[in-house]
């Protein structure tokens, strides 16, 4: 991405958000547009595909905090095509006419780029004579997995629409069968130096636009950029015990770097489908939870019940006089940890009240009520209210 691209393109407008939009607003806008414009949803629609690529490019810049800051600063400085003709308030360094702010922020002798860093994309130099390089942006994606897969871990295939190295040209930017040539003006450095009055400045080479290379025959797929938005198939290794909303990092699977720099990373947000029986403890996500319905006689007289686990079943002994809502801990039946140990299964017992009673059951219940009429479970409440 060159500074000219940043000056000419309005990424906020592309996503339909304001320039002070929050990261969450930008993410929501991108997801909505990506769903609407995705090639799978618009087969054969070249216009939707081009718009999808533009939206992906805009999100690639605005979702990266560092890139967004540089983009905003670049557009603020060069709004309206740049400040040519002098500084605000008049005056030129050394009395030079036609001064360009590109000079002021150039790198090299006299350039403020060495003081403020590279304003245009955070580029770095690969060497004294090498072209400038820039690490690829990080990319975000999402996937939804089953509760059991989240607990045990799984390898999940995903399809990702994101900027990647152009397959047709291999990332060179040149039409297959051709190669870029070294820029004859800057000698492949990407910068040229010139004197203006008493000052010497370095600025991006206008011949190669700072890339250090000349592409005589651009690749028809990526237009010479070496990067194109494409559908990639990847396998995400979800570790055991991943929680809903956690991110899995795939190093080097983000946007490819420019000028030989490394690619960014891919961060996959994992969403876990709830299980009909099991949950995760809010205090310790390595512990699984389950609620088991029991009868009143089982709690009052004690009982042994069979409780399901993710793998099989366990036997749980309920002591006589157990209160409804009590939780029992079954060791080692929770989430398997990376160190080989496992969390626990927390079993909560709750009384199940029948909706209808047979005549015989109603008579037995009435007899029980009569036999236990001296027992008042709310006596302490009434005493506390006096």
What is the number of other CB atoms lying within 10 angstroms of the CB of residue 174? 22
Q: pLDDT band at residue 331, thresholds of 50, 70 and 90?
A: very high
Q: Residue 204, exposed/middle/buried by CB under 10 A (0-12, 13-18, 19+)?
A: buried
0.85 surpassed by pTM:
no
Q: What 3-state class would DSSP assign to 364?
A: helix
Q: pLDDT band at residue 226, thresholds of 50, 70 and 90?
A: confident
How much is the pLDDT for 196? 61
For residues 192-199, give the mean pLDDT. Answer: 67
Least confident of 107-111, 287-291, 319-323: 107-111
Phi, psi of 316 (to 5 degrees): -115, 125
Can you tell me the distance from the alpha carbon of 49 to that of 55, in angstroms, rounded to the nearest whole number?
Answer: 10
In order of start, what are the domains of the chain with their CATH numbers?
Answer: 124-180+215-274 (2.60.260.20), 279-373 (2.60.260.20)
Cα 63 to chain centroid distance, Å, stands at: 9
Task: Give the bridge partners for 156, in sequence order.
Answer: 236
Residue 167: how many CA atoms within 13 Å on its side-chain side? 4
How much is the pLDDT for 145? 93
Helix (H) or strand (E) holding 159: strand 154-165
Largest CA distance in the chain: 110
pLDDT at 110 over 70: no
Report which of residues 187 and 355 the model is more confident about. 355
The DSSP result for 162-190, as a single string, is: EEEE-TTTTTS-BPTT---EE-TTTTTSS
Q: Express each pLDDT in 45-102 by its tens digit.
A: 888 888 888 888 888 888 888 888 888 877 776 554 443 333 333 333 333 333 343 4
Task: Give the bridge partners for 227, in sequence order.
Answer: 165
Compute CA distances 259 → 18, 51, 81, whole Å.
32, 26, 27
What is the number of other CB atoms lying within 10 angstroms of the CB of residue 53? 17
- The token pair that represents 195 in the structure block: 């004197």
Q: What percent of the chain has pLDDT over 70?
A: 78
Q: Express each pLDDT in 276-305 by its tens digit.
A: 999 999 999 999 999 999 999 999 999 999
Can you tell me the distance from the alpha carbon of 210 to that of 188, in angstroms, rounded to the nearest whole number?
Answer: 9
- Average pLDDT over the chain reads 78
Task: Compute the Cα dihedral for 47, 51, 52, 53 and give only its sign.
Answer: positive
H and E: helices and strands count for the chain:
11, 17
Q: pLDDT band at residue 179, thresholds of 50, 70 and 90?
A: confident
Contact of 347 with 288, CB cutoff 8 Å: no
Length of the chain: 386
For residues 160-171, give the mean pLDDT. Answer: 75
Q: Residue 4, exposed/middle/buried by CB under 10 A (0-12, 13-18, 19+)?
A: middle
Phi, psi of 320 (to 5 degrees): -60, 145
Can you tell me the distance from the alpha carbon of 237 to that of 359, in angstroms, rounded to the nearest whole number?
Answer: 58
Report which of residues 136 and 319 the model is more confident about. 319
Contact of 140 with 263, CB cutoff 8 Å: no
Report which of residues 128 and 203 the model is more confident about. 203
How much is the pLDDT for 82? 41
Q: Express each pLDDT in 259-278 by its tens digit.
A: 567 888 889 999 999 999 99
Q: Express each pLDDT in 26-45 by its tens digit.
A: 988 988 888 888 877 788 88
For residues 311-331, give the mean pLDDT. Answer: 94
């Amino acid at each position: 991405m060159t500074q000219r691209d940043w000056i000419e393109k309005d990424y906020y407008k592309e996503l339909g958000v304001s320039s002070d939009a929050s990261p969450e607003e930008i993410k929501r806008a991108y997801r909505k547009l990506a769903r609407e414009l995705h090639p799978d949803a618009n087969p054969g629609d070249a216009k939707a595909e081009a718009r999808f690529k533009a939206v992906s490019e805009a999100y690639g810049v605005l979702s990266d905090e560092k890139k967004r800051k540089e983009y905003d600063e670049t557009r603020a400085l060069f709004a309206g095509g740049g400040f040519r003709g002098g500084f605000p308030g008049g005056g030129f360094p050394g009395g030079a006419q036609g001064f360009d702010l590109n000079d002021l922020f150039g790198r090299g002798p006299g350039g403020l780029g060495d003081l403020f860093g590279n304003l245009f994309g955070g580029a770095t130099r690969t060497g004294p004579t090498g072209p400038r390089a820039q690490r690829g942006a990080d990319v975000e994606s999402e996937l939804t997995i089953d509760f059991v897969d989240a607990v045990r871990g799984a390898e999940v295939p995903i399809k990702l629409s994101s900027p990647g190295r152009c397959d047709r040209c291999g990332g060179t930017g040149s039409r297959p069968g051709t190669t870029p040539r070294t820029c004859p003006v800057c000698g492949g450095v990407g910068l040229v130096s010139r004197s203006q009055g008493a000052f010497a400045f370095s600025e991006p080479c206008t011949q190669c636009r700072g890339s250090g290379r000349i592409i005589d025959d651009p690749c028809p797929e990526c237009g010479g950029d070496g990067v194109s938005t494409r559908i990639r198939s990847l396998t995400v290794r979800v570790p055991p015990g991943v929680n809903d909303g956690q991110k899995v990092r795939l190093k080097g699977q983000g946007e490819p770097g420019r000028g030989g720099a490394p690619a960014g990373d891919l961060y996959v947000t994992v969403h876990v489908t709830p299980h009909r029986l099991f949950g995760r403890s809010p205090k310790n996500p390595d512990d699984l939870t389950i609620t088991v319905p029991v009868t009143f006689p089982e709690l009052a007289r004690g009982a042994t019940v069979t409780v399901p686990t993710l793998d099989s079943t366990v036997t749980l002994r309920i002591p006589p006089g157990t209160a409804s809502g009590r939780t029992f801990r079954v060791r080692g039946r929770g989430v398997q940890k990376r160190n080989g140990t496992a969390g626990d299964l927390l079993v909560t017992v709750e009384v199940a009240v029948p909706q209808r009673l047979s005549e015989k059951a109603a008579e037995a219940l009435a007899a029980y009520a009569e036999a236990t009429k001296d027992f008042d479970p709310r006596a302490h409440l009434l005493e506390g209210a006096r």
